[in-house]
Structure 1
Amino acid sequence: MRSVLVVVTRQIGDVLLTTPLVHAARERWPEAAIDVLGFAGTLGMLRGNPDVRTLIEVPARPGLRATWALARRLWRRYDLALVADPGDRAHLIGWVAARERSGLLPAESGSNWWKRKLLRHGVTIGGDQGETHVVPEKMELLAAWGGGTGAPQLVGPAGDPLPAPLASRLAPGYVVVHTPSMWVYKQWPEEHFRKLIALLALAGRQVVLTGGPGAGDRATVAAMEGAAPPEQLLDAGLLSFNQVATLLRGAALYIGPDTSVSHLAAACGTPVLAIFGPTNPRRWAPWPGGEQPVRFERRRPAQTIGQVTLLQAPLPCVPCGRAGCEDHRDSRADCLPAILPERVAAKALELLDTAHGA
């Protein structure tokens, strides 16, 4: 293969979880030009990735003219397309772009019949209740060409310097806490985050808050004001993914919900404490570094693999694999308030003490 296109028209976290596939393709074809196509605003995690030649950003909802222009630009430009998304549009892009194609397929879909006809190799995904993590599932796209060599490894973005005012205030051993979630059903309560921050500060730790530029993220971060003394609570402000990577690599610990930044922290090798609610960790847990086998349990109050620790509520419905109790993005998720801040703080301080002792 002289040229490979990886199609990942999903959210930011999904893009990062595709980096082991990209890296395995690079190892399989060291001389190939590997490009990644995704929606505008989602490919920031890949800037500076040594395995990628070009990032191709496309609109999430293109008009007819933009679609035609993209088709002309991509037509049979690549030897192989790895379609790391089961959606119809991703498969059509793969067919336009490459002579051979390998792609993910949903377990049940009325469009699977024509998608299979377009593929040399298809991988049926497990869905949110599945037993296979999405990282090795994506790696299966290379099975028809011998597969990857070695354990899957996330590749985090290259680091950029932090803003000087922030860098000058960071204290050794700081803890990064990411308070916002994209969806309501994944949001740990703000009052729980405030209590957690207060307990970390009481133990002598400086907490650095991260969040995106959206109004919801900014409001959630602002709600933490006053949870700890000013010198022990910093708002990192608006950072690029490359700057966030630098911040994470210098942290003693990262704490956050089921969100893309938690995956980024794991990719950066930072010790991660992830707060999981309805989501199935066997499929969506942050992927740890190292060579150890990775198989998270579906339900366990606390579990650790590598540098990643997960906390879940001890409720019989966990994980339901749904979008909260009402199964929509603005739904409540009763399992998240059940994870008390005192429990998260105790586990965080245990991890920090263990790391310091090591």
Structure 2
Amino acid sequence: MKKILVMKFRNIGDVLLITPLLENLKLAFPDAIIDVALNEGTQEMIRLNPYVDTIRIYDRAQIKSLGFFKRIYKEIAFAYSIREKKYDIVINTTEGDRGAQLALFSGAKIKIGYKPNKNKLLQNVFTHLLPPQEFRHTIECNLDALRVLNLPVKEKKVAIYWAKEDEDIIDSMLVKQDFIHIHPVSRWLFKCINDTTMAEIIDFCKNTLNQEVILTASNDPFEIQKIEAILAQCTSNPLNFAGKLTLKQTAALNKKAKMFIGVDTAIMHMSAANDTPVLAFFGPSGADHWGPWDNELMQSGYTTRKGIRTMGKHTVIQEDWDCVPCGKDGCNGTKVSDCLMHLDLNTIQKTIKKMLS
């Protein structure tokens, strides 16, 4: 029986996008134990996944808050917890020294990852090197771990799971079962569109198209303030669930929606995983890397780097500017992206009508 560890020390959306890799590993090794190592706060994307045996949590914030010697002790203890499991295969799906260090310490015979750029001590850690991303979707990059082992890629479906209790809570909150789910915010301000434009989108859906609108956001004070600023400019009265739902409950809610409208966030990827049609606004980030993935397709539809693109049932709206996508956190250090401040409302409205029809 093989023991496999998949590491993804990144954010919530990044973690969700490893689910196709997990399913394919189980298809290749049906009897394998498959564990996943993640940053604290991202585990909900994997919890209840039938292809995962154990989730190993690295609490970065807690460890960083410790003094030097306690921090070193915690780091070593986490590494030992991996080594004692005696994994056969360790897959580090992101660049960075932490995953390389843990792979080295794991003692695994097969170690897969990206070659470290700076740390010379880690240059030869991996037995199998992953190729650079270039202009490929992140899902394809995660699946490279299969390709370097000469294993087939049989599925490219992103999946999220929740408990019946989560769905029961959503059912108890819904007055109407027919609605559009809008998640207007990101914890990264530079991914957000103009508040006025978002308010006009909400009013268009509610007043013009006569569609119920449900807004979601986390309970982060910044996100709640952002929602309040948008609602202050609305003439309609959408249902506001901001700060009231967990990630799993948000996923359960989204599954019932006619479509999703929002920016480049984990909630967008959850919507695509639910096969809910997505209209996403992209600015500095590239849809070729991060666009909503259509689970019915095996090839990315994001073959160009900017402008309006579709992948199956999903649509990305992005300015066709020379500087897009820039990969920066806003223009000139402002944390605000000009390319997201001037989106054409008429184009957005036509796209919403087309997707609903």
TM-score exceeds 0.5: yes
CA distance in 2, matches of 1:164, 1:322: 38
What is the letter of the counterpart of residue 257 of structure 1?
A: V
Query: Which of 152, 156, 166 is residue 152 of structure 1 equivalent to?
Result: 156
Deviation at 1:291, TM superposition (A): 3.0
2:96 corresponds to 1:87: yes
Native 8 Å contact 2:138 2:289 kept in 1: yes
2:282–2:340: 8 Å Cα contact kept in structure 1?
yes
Output one character per residue of 1:8-60: Cα deviation in whole Å (capped at 9) or x when no partner: 11011110111111111111111111111111111111111111111111111
Q: Distance in 2 between matches of 1:205 and 1:151?
A: 34
Residues 186 and 333, structure 1, Cα contact 8 Å, conserved in 2: yes
- The CA deviation at 1:238 is 2.5
- Equivalent residues of 2:169, 2:249 under 8 A apart: no
Distance 1:162 1:220, change over 3 A: farther
For the residue of structure 2 that corresponds to 1:109, the secondary structure is coil
Describe the shift of the 1:66–1:8 C-alpha distance in structure 2 as closer, same or farther (beyond 3 A). same
Quickly say closer, same or farther: Cα 1:228–1:132, change in 2 above 3 A: same
CA drift of 1:118 comes to 1.3
Query: Aligned partners of 1:286 and 1:332: how far apart in 2?
Result: 22
Return the offset for 1:166: 6.6
The one of 272, 280, 299 aligned to 1:266:
272
- Do the aligned residues in 2 keep the contact of 1:83 with 1:101 (CA within 8 Å)? no
Give the match for residue 243 of structure 1: 249
Quick check: 1:103–1:122 contact (8 Å CA) kept in 2? yes
| SS at 1:288 equivalent | coil
The answer to whether the 8 A contact 2:286-2:327 is kept is yes
- The 8 Å contact of residues 185 and 217 in structure 2, kept in 1 or not, is answered as yes
| Residue 27 of structure 2: aligned partner | 27
The answer to whether the 8 Å contact 1:196/1:342 transfers is no
C-alpha deviations, 1:219-245, integer Å up to 9, x for none? Answer: 122223352543x43325422222111
Matched residue of 1:117: which SS? coil
Q: Distance in 1 between matches of 2:33 and 2:12?
A: 23
Change (3 A) 1:135 1:252: same
* Unmatched segments (≥5 aa) in structure 2: 64-70
Does 298-307 or 210-219 show the bigger shift?
A: 298-307
AA matched with 1:260: A
2:125 alignment partner, one of 89, 109, 118: 118
Higher mean displacement: 57-66 or 269-278? 57-66
1:73 positional shift: 1.6
Contact 2:306 2:324 in 1 (8 A): no
- For residue 145 of structure 1, give the secondary structure of its aligned residue in structure 2: coil
**1:168: how far off?**
4.3
Asked whether the equivalents of residues 140 and 147 of structure 1 are also in contact (C-alpha less than 8 Å), the reply is no
Are the equivalent residues in 2 in contact too, given 1:101–1:118 (CA < 8 A)?
no
In the TM superposition, what whole-angstrom CA distance separates every residue of 1:223-268 from its partner, at most 9, and x where no partner exists? 23352543x4332542222211111110000011011110111111
1:212 matches 2:218: yes
Partners of 2:135 and 2:169 in 1: how far apart?
45
Q: Percent identity?
A: 25
**Conserved 8 A contact 1:211-1:217:** yes
8 Å contact kept, 2:3–2:32: yes
Match of 2:330 among 311, 314, 324: 324
Q: Give the equivalent residue in structure 1 for 2:67.
A: none
Matches within 5 A, 1:272-311: 272-311=278-317
Aligned to 2:68: none
The question of 1:64 aligning with 2:68 is answered no
Q: Does 1:338 align with 2:342?
A: yes
- Tell me if structure 2 keeps the 8 A contact 1:81–1:98: no
How far has the Cα of 1:165 moved from its partner?
7.7
The DSSP-based 3-state class of the residue aligned with 2:196 is: helix
- Asked if structure 2 preserves the Cα contact closer than 8 Å seen for 1:180 and 1:216, the reply is no
Asked if 2 retains the 8 angstrom alpha-carbon contact of 1:155 and 1:267, the reply is: yes
Task: Say what the alpha-carbon RMSD is for the aligned residues.
Answer: 2.1
Structure 2 CA distance, aligned partners of 1:139 and 1:170? 41
Q: Which AA in structure 2 matches 1:276?
A: F
Report the equivalent of 1:193: 198
Aligned length: 345
CA gap 1:164/1:259 in 2 versus in 1, 3 angstroms: closer
1:196–1:87: structure 2 CA closer, same or farther, 3 Å change rule?
same
Quote the Cα distance in structure 1 between the aligned partners of 2:159 and 2:122.
29
- Give, in whole Å, the separation in 2 of the partners of 1:168 and 1:334: 37
Counterparts of 2:131 and 2:111 in 1: how far apart (Å)? 11
Unaligned 5+ runs, structure 1: 354-358
Distance 1:340 1:233, change over 3 A: farther
Residue-by-residue CA offset, 1:309-347 (whole Å, 9 max, x unaligned): 111113232222333322x5x522111012133432321
2:73 and 2:215 mapped to 1: Cα distance?
42
| TM-score using structure 1 length | 0.89
The Cα shift of 1:2 comes to: 1.6
CA 236–101 in structure 1, closer or farther in 2 if over 3 Å, else same: same
Q: Take 1:131 and 1:324, find their aligned partners in 2: how far apart are those partners?
A: 21
